[in-house]
């Protein structure tokens, strides 16, 4: 393989990821709404790129459950049902509980507060949580989603299993896509968004699993109740 073809492959792969990330952000921001249809050509024209990386990016997002492929019309943003949301929350809770069990078992994950590397990592996660809490208090959904996704990715990474981290991240993106479809109906989001990030980190750092589990159970229950209420309107 020549050097130029290798560079071309890397460039196309990078462009594919950039387009996928940009479209995911559009869905999370509510600018691409549930059921909205578009073609590869429309997206390629919008970003001024060729069709190939766009098609690859759209296939990637379809595999992640954010889009649906239609052989004749192109793609559409997936519309999640309330039942879908309940299932995602349940799956998310099971993954997080698995992580909690590792910590509960006093294994190497999270180690001890005296470990400087873990202490530094937890401090970083806590900062993401603080930013997420500020966005939640202000009702800024777009900023909240960005920090919330980073918060959970970095928090789950502390447990040392990248497969669980990636799976949890995908579920959190999907649940946010579903939630956004409903939250955008509200004109003022203050008081409707979860802001327990730093309290959760502090509980885990203390290995207070009772508090951590109680917080997550309440968070999940409130989230499902909110989506059910908004979907019924």
Q: Residue 27: which of 70, 79, 91 has the closest Cα? A: 79
Tokens 């429309």 label which residue? 42
Q: 181 pLDDT band (50/70/90 cuts)? A: confident
Q: Are residues 111 and 69 in the same domain?
A: no
Q: Are residues 57 and 131 in the same domain?
A: no
Query: With 70 as the cut, is the pLDDT of residue 7 above it?
Result: no
Per the prediction, the chain carries an average pLDDT of 87
Whether the Cβ atoms of residue 89 and residue 225 lie closer than 8 Å to each other? no
91-96: long-range contacts, CB 8 A cutoff, minimum separation 24? 91/171, 92/168, 92/171, 92/172, 92/175, 92/220, 93/216, 93/217, 93/220, 95/164, 95/167, 95/168, 95/171, 96/156, 96/168, 96/216
Whether the Cβ atoms of residue 230 and residue 81 lie closer than 8 Å to each other? no
Tens digit of pLDDT for each residue in 45-54? 999 999 999 9
Q: What is the CATH number of the domain that holds 171?
A: 1.20.120.530
Measured between its terminal Cα atoms, the distance across the chain in Å is: 58
Q: Are residues 56 and 102 in the same domain?
A: no
Quick one: tokens of 9? Answer: 């492959």
Q: What is the pLDDT of residue 37?
A: 92
Task: Give the length of the chain.
Answer: 233
Task: List % helix, strand, coil for the chain (3-state, nearest 5).
Answer: 70, 5, 25
Tens digit of pLDDT for each residue in 196-218? 999 999 998 888 999 999 999 99
The domain containing residue 109 runs over which residues?
Answer: 82-231
Domain count, the chain: 2
Q: Specify the higher pLDDT residue, 67 or 71.
A: 67
Q: Are residues 107 and 190 in the same domain?
A: yes
Q: What is the pLDDT of residue 101?
A: 86
Q: Are residues 214 and 139 in the same domain?
A: yes
Whether the Cβ atoms of residue 133 and residue 198 lie closer than 8 Å to each other? yes
Q: What is the CATH number of the domain that holds 26?
A: 1.10.10.10
Decide which of 30, 46, 77 is a domain's last residue.
Answer: 77
Q: Are residues 127 and 50 in the same domain?
A: no
User: How many other C-beta atoms are found inside a 10 Å radius of the C-beta of residue 6?
Assistant: 10
Q: What is the pLDDT of residue 185?
A: 82
Query: With 80 as the cut, is the pLDDT of residue 116 above it?
Result: no
| Confidence (pTM) | 0.84
Q: Are residues 123 and 41 in the same domain?
A: no
Q: 31 pLDDT band (50/70/90 cuts)? A: confident
Tens digit of pLDDT for each residue in 139-153? 999 999 999 999 999
Q: Are residues 56 and 119 in the same domain?
A: no
Query: With 90 as the cut, is the pLDDT of residue 83 above it?
Result: yes
Q: Which whole-number Å values give the CA distances from 231 to 69, 118, 219, 220, in the listed order?
A: 25, 41, 18, 16
């Amino acid at each position: 393989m020549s050097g130029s073809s290798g560079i071309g492959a890397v460039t196309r792969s990078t462009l594919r990821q950039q387009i996928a990330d940009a479209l995911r952000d559009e869905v999370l921001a509510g600018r691409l709404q549930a059921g909205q249809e578009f073609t590869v050509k429309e997206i390629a024209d919008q970003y001024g790129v060729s069709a190939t990386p766009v098609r690859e990016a759209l296939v990637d997002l379809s595999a992640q459950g954010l889009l649906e492929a239609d052989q004749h019309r192109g793609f559409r943003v997936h519309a999640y049902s309330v039942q879908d949301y309940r299932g995602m929350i349940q799956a998310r809770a099971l993954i997080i509980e698995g992580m909690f069990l590792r910590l509960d078992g006093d294994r190497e994950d999270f180690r001890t507060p005296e470990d400087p590397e873990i202490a530094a990592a937890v401090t970083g996660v806590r900062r993401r949580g603080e930013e997420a809490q500020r966005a939640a208090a202000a009702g800024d959904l777009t900023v909240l989603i960005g920090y919330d996704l980073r918060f959970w990715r970095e928090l789950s990474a502390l447990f040392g299993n990248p497969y669980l981290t990636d799976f949890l991240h995908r579920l959190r993106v999907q649940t946010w896509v579903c939630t956004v479809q409903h939250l955008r109906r509200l004109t003022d989001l203050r008081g409707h968004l979860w802001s327990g990030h730093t309290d959760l980190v502090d509980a885990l750092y203390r290995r207070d699993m009772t508090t951590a589990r109680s917080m997550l159970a309440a968070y999940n229950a409130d989230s499902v109740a909110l989506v059910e209420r908004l979907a019924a309107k």
